[in-house]
Amino acid sequence: MTSEANPYDLAPALKTENIDVLVGIGVGGGSLINNGITYRPFREGWERSYDLERYPHMDTVWHWILSILIVLKAS
């Protein structure tokens, strides 16, 4: 790593004290920038996405996901 500015980097400059800032790059979707955030899904959205009468096992999946999100302390 170098402390020299990259002339092609259009990101705003950060001034910090006693903090080392590392910035990673990659090609991909939102998971590259949101991998540290876990949002809790809403039941209403889940039911709109999955017809629970047609796919009753998705109700079990919903409860399984909620139990994981509680452990992760999702937002």
What one-character-per-residue DSSP string does 19-38 give? Answer: ---------SSTHHHHTT--
Tell me the mean pLDDT in the region 28-56.
78
**Taking the model in full, what pTM does it have?**
0.47
Higher pLDDT, 39 or 33: 39
Q: How confident is the model at residue 59 (pLDDT cuts 50, 70, 90)?
A: very high
Give the pLDDT confidence score for residue 71 in this predicted structure.
Answer: 82
Within 13 Å and on the Cβ side, how many CA atoms surround 63?
5
Q: Specify the DSSP class assigned to residue 6.
A: P
Give the pLDDT confidence score for residue 18 in this predicted structure.
Answer: 81
